[in-house]
């Protein structure tokens, strides 16, 4: 694990472990017929490290990711500056908080907690193609940040929002399924997004990058990505024009 903050496994209360288990069980059942097979496959493959019964160990999740896609994890207190975030992704390192919401925040939290950061974000990092996309995304963001290209960075941030946080991904039959971490980690957002699955916008990179988003209200627009591979190609071509 990257040096710095460490997770204090002894510091959690029984109530916090129970909150985690209830969040996990409710959401796993809710996602069963709604989530992308890519995500569900990875979530279930990680059940020995991203545990259902108790708050998971960051070290154990990292050990499992490391064996498959060489990603590492870094414990952070909360949101970090964009440039640092891109640099970490470029180095195949994802950030997670280790605090867990309390019971009064069961359905809504303003700031991402460990349930969002791990249950939402970590499973697809076990998938080779998704992991590669995140690495490329971070590399591009880091280079654009160093070059001071704020317009291009805004485009990348929108891509992150509309795919990594709130995206739909088509399954092998072309049916829309949920993938974004902001959806996966929220019972209410899952049901809201799912109710709009017949009204999705096609995921065209230029459209996504030109669509502003709001963080303070429930989402009204979702994009359906047909394949991560196709998006990686489109993103690579876009980056070449930015870097030229
Ligand atoms: Fe997130």
Residue 58 falls inside a structural domain: yes
Give the integer Cα–Cα distance in Å for 157 and 152: 9
Low-confidence residues in the chain, pLDDT < 70? 1-3
pLDDT reported for residue 79: 85
CATH at 110: 1.10.800.10
Query: How far is the centre of ligand 1, averaged over its atoms, from the C-alpha of 166 (Å)?
Result: 9
> What are φ and ψ of residue 106, in 5° steps?
-55, -40
* Cα 185 to middle of ligand 1, angstroms: 9
* Residue 207 falls inside a structural domain: yes
Domain contains 108: yes
pLDDT at 216: 85
Cα(244) to ligand 1 centroid in Å equals 30
Q: In terms of residue numbers, what domain contains 162? A: 9-243
Would 4 be classed as within a structural domain?
no
- The domain tally of the chain equals 1
Helical ranges in 147-227 per DSSP H = 150-159, 181-184, 187-195, 205-209
CA dist., res. 238 & res. 207, Å (int): 13
- CA 131 to chain CA centroid, Å, is 11
Distance 58 CA to ligand 1 centre (A): 16
| pLDDT over 70, % of the chain | 98
Asked if residue 3 belongs to a domain, the reply is no
Task: Tell me the per-residue pLDDT of 92-110, one tens digit each, with 9 for 90 and over.
Answer: 999 999 999 998 888 888 8
CA of 7 relative to ligand 1 center, distance in Å: 19
pTM of the predicted protein model:
0.96
Residue 111 located in a structural domain: yes
């Amino acid at each position: 694990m990257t040096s710095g903050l460490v997770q204090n496994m002894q510091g959690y209360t029984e109530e916090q472990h129970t909150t985690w288990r209830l969040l996990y069980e409710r959401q796993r059942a809710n996602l069963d017929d709604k989530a992308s097979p890519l995500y569900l496959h990875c979530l279930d493959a990680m059940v020995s490290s991203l545990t259902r019964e108790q708050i998971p160990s960051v070290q154990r999740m990292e050990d499992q990711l490391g064996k498959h896609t060489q990603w590492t994890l870094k414990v952070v207190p909360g949101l970090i500056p964009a440039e640092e975030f891109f640099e970490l992704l470029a180095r195949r390192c994802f950030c997670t908080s280790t605090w867990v919401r309390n019971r009064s925040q069961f359905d809504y939290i303003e700031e991402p907690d460990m349930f969002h950061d791990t249950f939402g974000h970590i499973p697809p990092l076990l998938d080779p193609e998704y992991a590669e996309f995140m690495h490329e995304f971070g590399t591009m963001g880091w280079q654009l940040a160093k070059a001071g290209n704020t317009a291009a960075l805004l485009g990348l941030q929108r891509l992150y929002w509309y795919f990594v946080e709130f995206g739909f991904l088509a399954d092998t039959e072309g049916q829309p399924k949920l993938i974004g971490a902001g959806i996966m980690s929220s019972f209410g957002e899952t049901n809201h997004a799912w109710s709009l699955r017949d009204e999705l916008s096609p995921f065209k990179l230029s459209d996504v990058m030109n669509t502003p988003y709001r963080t303070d209200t429930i989402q009204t627009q979702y994009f359906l990505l047909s394949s991560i591979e196709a998006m990686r190609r489109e993103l690579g071509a876009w980056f070449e024009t930015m870097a030229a």
